Structure 1
């Protein structure tokens, strides 16, 4: 990988518990990853895993508890970001999840698109509007859309407008926070193809936050798998999806519905086998996983291969080829009975009833 455009190290973020005021919820717990020039990095995980919080910290919408986020030589986690705010805004943009609430219904599309340009540069209105027309054309919308309002467009068209607004600043990195989750499948495919072509033509880098693994596999070059604020596994997207190493990644992939009845049957059997294995290995030491922010693996309570060491010691990142896996089964000196061996196959036996 080339020198990263963004380097995140030791990122931590916590919030107060909504009902237990003396309790802290660790939304992000010591997260590390890089984004190279022109690279698309997908961040996946179930709801509450901290995906969107990472994006909000990078954008400056949240102040992290600790860690570094170095973007173009500037640490976004420090106060120096305030001195370089305009420069950061030109190079770092976002496409939000909801294409309805992210656009002002009382302003024309032209006014929405030129606002960030005029706020950061001295550009005449007619020049900015011409640029807005060109940008709308690039995302597949008519040039005359600058005179219309957001309420006159469908959800997919509004998301294209959101993409155009981000690109008006000529950014180097765009954070897409669940940017296709609110769209129907056919519109999703169109927007994904648009994002892919824009990245290729303009040399853009993306952080693509999503819960849909198939979407991430299609678009991303690398995948970061997140669970309860921690990175479980990261590496090449094709490898992560074809041969998951961490038990959580396996469980996440097995939960994805597919149209092929044979493959769906295999995934159902995989889930059943993992559940039986978890029940067989359950003990007082592993029935309750640790809270995020404490020692141990957060997935221990749901893992079929959990042992006492999984609840008492935080797993280190183990290099497996070009991937990093945070699991005691891949660390030779971890003390796990499968230390250094990795996760065994959970493939169901042939002929076994589901």
Structure 2
């Protein structure tokens, strides 16, 4: 019987150092395969496989879509592509972003849980926000093992704190202890796994983008409840997925958000709209004053005064909107600080 030999690792800010510490301590003969997602800039090439290969006894690479899985290797998600795991092979696809990320940790973890069940070990390391939490929940639902980096040593602890808050984590370890635990788990026989839930099945298919519109709507209706919200990415309809924490949403295209990210996106869209209003109103102020000066050249003083008064009124409104925007920045900071508070 196989052990826990499918290891999925997710990280973001501060992840390079953390990944190096883990893969650099793994033996060349480990009876497992590693899949890694680190949040990367979409428009720049990634040197992560080369960097990891230089410090590890295991070869590392960006896989091709459909490439077969080989043990004793490290597969790294390429920039702007989701890395997904199927039975015996990988998918590398430009599916919809999840929590604003592509590649997304949740997408990788969920696909691995779907394909390999209790053989999966999910590892969440340093990073901002909460990508990885929902994916780690999927790993646990399929009987897999959940590991998180000790938040006290994580350079950016948000991701690991979120996982600890919402997932029944099996091991919370400092980086130095994670490699040995992965080796031990790879040698332990994986227990019988629970069946794939409808939620995991549907969301895995969404990530692969292999459903037509009718199939998608049918499936997402089966796992979610339609809301009155619209997607901050594409303005499409939004469904609330399940009732578990963290609260999360998907749109009809497939964009996915946890509540914190959804609120942040809504706030950003409002801010963008307000700045657009400021721009349009400032243009009108300038034009009104131009018209006022033009009326003066024709000795139309009443008209000139009306244009000038209109410009002053708009100026006051612009000042008010600017104040709303600046207050919004303070509100966003307050929310972010609240989310950083440790759970009790």
Assess same fold via TM > 0.5.
Answer: no
Name the one with the larger helix percent. 2
Larger Rg: 2
Higher relative contact order (CA 8 A, sep 6+): 1
